Structure 1
Amino acid sequence: MFIHVILPLCGGLLIFLGGMKLMEAALRHLAGPFLTRWLNRATVSPWRGMLFSSGITALLQSSTAVTVLTIGLVNAGLLTYGRTLGIILGTNIGTCLTTELMGLQLGKLAVPLLCGSLLCWGTAVLWGETVAGRQYAAAGASPSSNGLSRPQAVQFISLVFAGFSLILAGIRVMQAVGPWIEQAGLFRWFLDHAAANMWWAFAAGACLTALVHSSAAVIGMAISLAAAGALPVDVGIAIVIGSNVGTCVTALIAAVGGSVSGKFVAWSHVLLNVGGVLLFMPLIPGLDMVATWISTEPGAKVAHAQTLFNVISSLLALPLCYLPIWTRIEERMSLHRTKR
C-alpha cells in the first residue's frame, strides 16, 4: 500500500506542486512589474475586470495569486471593493487553461520538454554572461516590455516550460497508482459513499484543496485517477467542484488582519463560489453528458466539466455585479474608514 500507492501519489503531487510554483514564479517575473497597474486600469467595469482577470490568471497559472494580490491592493486602498467583483469571477475562468492542458494527457512529452527547456535556460544564462551579451546590452539593446533583458526573458520563459513539464511528469506519476488504488479498501469505501451521495466527493475535494492550498493539484489528481480508470467521471467532477470552495480558504487567510474592504473581497469570493456549487451539484450528470460530447476520454471529460462549471457560473453571476447594493456597501465601507 505505502510503496505502490501512498509514495507515488505523494511524490507525484510534490512534483506537480513544484512545477506549479516554478511556472508561477517565472511568470510573475515576466508579468509582475505591470500587474498592479494593469489591475487598476482594467477593472473599470465588472465585465472588463472579468475578462482581464481571466487572462492574467491564465498567464500566471494561479487564481490564488491574483485573489491574494487583489485583497492586498484593497487593503492598501489602491483598489475599491466594487472593482474586485469582476476580478473574482475572472480568476475562476482563468484556471481552466491549466485544467484543459492537464486533460490533454501529454505525459509522454514531460521528459523531452524538461530537457529542452533546461537546455534553453542554460544557453540563455551563458548568453547573458558572455562579453558579447554585455556589450550588446551596453550598446542599448532593447529590453523586453517588462524591463528584463532578452537573455533574462528567455531564461524565465524556459523556466515556464520547465515548470509545465514537471506538472505533466507529476500527473503521469500519479496516474501510475490507478490499478493499485482500485484495490485499496479505503478507496472502495470512499467510492461507495460517493456513488450514493456526491457530497462526499465534494467534501473530499474541498478539504484536500484547503489542506494543500492548490486547487490545481487536487484537480490534477482527479484527472489522473479518472484517466487511469480508478475514479468514475461523475465523482471526479464532484471533487473538482469541491476544490473551487476549498481554494477560498487561502483568500480568507489572506484577509485576516486586513481592512473591512479586504474581508469583504474574501467573503465575496466564498459567496460566489458556494453559489456556483449549490447550482451545479445537482447538475453533475448533465455536466458529464455535455463533456462526453466534447471528448470520450475520462480525464479530458473531468477537465471539460471543470471549464463548463467555471465559465457558466461566472457568466451567470456577472449581472449580479451590477446591482446597486455593491455601491451602497462600498459607500458604507468608505464611511467606516473615514470614522476611523
Structure 2
Amino acid sequence: MQILHSIHFVIALGIFLIIIKEFAKSCSHLITENNRKILLKSQNILLMVLAGALLSAITQSSSIVVLMIIGLVEGSVISEKSGLAAVLGTEIGTTVTGQLLSIPQKIIFFLLPFILLVSMVLPKFKNIRKTIFWFSLLILSLYHMSIPVKALTSNSGTMINQLLLLANDKVSVAIFIGFGFTALIQSSSALTALAINLGRVGVLEITGALGLILGANLGTCITGVLASFSFSKKAKTIVVGQILFNFLGIIIISIIFHHYVNLVIFLTPSKLIERQIANGQTLFNILSVIAILPIFPLFYRLVKQISLKIM
C-alpha cells in the first residue's frame, strides 16, 4: 500500500511542478521584457532590490528573474553590483508563492470562480484570466498532493515519518532535507507547498517546516550555478553572491532559531501553521536583506574576492 501511495505522490508532485511552471509562465506575461529591463536599469541599490522583488513577485519565479539578471550582467546592460542587489530582492519576491499557497483553501475555492467570471467579462484581462486559471489548477493540485502525503505519513513506523520527526527535533536535519529536495527538483515552490501540506496534516511542526524552508533558500541557488557554467566570471559573481547571502542568513538564523520561531508565531494572529510557514519564509528573507543593505558595499567586495579565488 505504501508503494501505491508513493507512486501517487510522485505523480501528484510531477503534475504540481508542471502546473507551477505554467503558472509562472502566465504570470511572466503580465509584464513585458522591455519593462523588466527598464526596472533593472537603476544604479540605486535599494531600487534594484525593490525591482528584483517586484519582478519575482509578478513572474512567480525567482529562477526566471535570476537568469534574466545573469544575462543582463553578462551583456553589460547592468553592473555586477546592481545585478547582485536585484538578486537579493528576488529572495523577497519569491515568498509571494508561499503566501498564496497558504491562504485557507475554503476562501480560495469560494473566491476564484467569482474572480475568473469577472476576468472573462473583461476581454482586456486575457493574461490575468490565464493566470487565474493556472492558479486555480495549482490550488487543486496542491490539495490533491495532500492526499498521498497524509497517507504516507500516517504510519509512524515508516522511514519518511521518522525522518520528518527528526526534522521537527533538529533544525540542521530539516535544513539539509530542504536543501537536497529543492536542489533535486529545482523548485523551492514545490518544497514550500510540501511543507505547507505536511503542516496542514499535522505531521510537520512549525520548527521542522521553517527548517525545510531555510534549506530550500540555499537549494534554489543550484539553478544559477548550473546556468553559470556557460557564462563569464562577471556573471558568476552573481551566483556566488546569491549562495553567500543565503548561507550567511541560514547560519545566523540557525543560531537564534527558537527566537525566530517565536517571532513568527507572534506575528501570525491566525495561528494556522500554513500561515506561520509562509510568514516565516517572508520574514527570513526580509530580515536577511535588511541586515545586508547597510554593509552591501562590503558584502559586494567580499563576493568579488571569493569569485576571483574559486573561478
Shorter-chain TM-score: what band?
A: 0.7 to 0.9
1:7 Cα shift? 3.5
Alignment-mate amino acid for residue 99 of structure 2: E
Summarize the alignment of residues 188-207 of structure 1 with structure 2, pairs less than 5 Å apart. Answer: 188-207=161-180
Structure 1 residue aligned with 2:10: 10
Structure 2 residue aligned with 1:47: 46
* Whole-Å separation in 1 of the counterparts to 2:108 and 2:17: 18
Q: For 1:323, what is the secondary structure of its paired residue?
A: helix
Structure 2 residue aligned with 1:257: 230
The superposition leaves residues 232-260 of structure 1 with CA deviations (integer Å, 9 ceiling, x where unpaired) of 11101100110000000001111112011
TM-score if structure 2 supplies the norm length? 0.87
Determine what percentage of the aligned residue pairs are the same residue. Answer: 25
Structure 1 residue aligned with 2:104: 105
Structure 2 residue aligned with 1:319: 294
1:80 Cα shift? 1.1
Structure 2 residue aligned with 1:146: none
* Whole-Å separation in 1 of the counterparts to 2:167 and 2:161: 10
Which 10-residue stretch deviates more, 181-190 or 110-119?
Answer: 110-119
Alignment-mate amino acid for residue 173 of structure 1: H
Alignment-mate amino acid for residue 102 of structure 1: L
Summarize the alignment of residues 6-155 of structure 1 with structure 2, pairs less than 5 Å apart. Answer: 6-41=6-41, 43-106=42-105, 109-110=108-109, 113=112, 117=116, 151=123, 153-155=124-126
Q: For 2:203, what is the secondary structure of its paired residue?
A: coil
**Correspondence for 1:310 among 251, 263, 285:** 285
CA 1:325–1:69: 2 relative to 1, 3 Å: closer
Alignment-mate amino acid for residue 31 of structure 1: I
Query: 2:62, 2:90 within 8 Å by CA — same for their partners in 1?
Result: yes
1:156 Cα shift? 1.6
* Whole-Å separation in 1 of the counterparts to 2:78 and 2:9: 41
Q: Which runs of 5+ in 1 are unaligned?
A: 125-150, 334-340
1:269 Cα shift? 0.6
Structure 1 residue aligned with 2:146: 175
Structure 2 residue aligned with 1:156: 127
1:38 Cα shift? 2.0
Which structure is richer in relative contact order (CA contacts within 8 A, separation 6 or more)?
A: 1
Query: 1:9, 1:173 within 8 Å by CA — same for their partners in 2?
Result: no
* Whole-Å separation in 2 of the counterparts to 1:222 and 1:48: 32
Alignment-mate amino acid for residue 32 of structure 2: G
Q: For 2:30, what is the secondary structure of its paired residue?
A: helix
1:17 Cα shift? 2.1
1:189 Cα shift? 2.2
* Whole-Å separation in 2 of the counterparts to 1:107 and 1:18: 24
Summarize the alignment of residues 190-229 of structure 1 with structure 2, pairs less than 5 Å apart. Answer: 190-229=163-202
Larger radius of gyration: 1
Query: 2:40, 2:52 within 8 Å by CA — same for their partners in 1?
Result: no
1:112 Cα shift? 7.5
Alignment-mate amino acid for residue 44 of structure 1: Q
Alignment-mate amino acid for residue 133 of structure 2: A
* Whole-Å separation in 2 of the counterparts to 1:267 and 1:163: 33
1:209 Cα shift? 0.6
Structure 2 residue aligned with 1:232: 205
* Whole-Å separation in 2 of the counterparts to 1:328 and 1:63: 20
* Whole-Å separation in 2 of the counterparts to 1:329 and 1:198: 31
CA 1:179–1:297: 2 relative to 1, 3 Å: farther
1:292 Cα shift? 1.8
Q: Which runs of 5+ in 2 are unaligned?
A: none
* Whole-Å separation in 1 of the counterparts to 2:134 and 2:202: 26
What RMSD in Å do the two structures reach over aligned CA positions?
2.7
* Whole-Å separation in 2 of the counterparts to 1:328 and 1:168: 39
* Whole-Å separation in 2 of the counterparts to 1:324 and 1:215: 25
Query: 2:264, 2:279 within 8 Å by CA — same for their partners in 1?
Result: yes
The superposition leaves residues 99-127 of structure 1 with CA deviations (integer Å, 9 ceiling, x where unpaired) of 11211222663598379749956x78xxx
Q: Does 1:243 align with 2:216?
A: yes
* Whole-Å separation in 1 of the counterparts to 2:114 and 2:299: 54
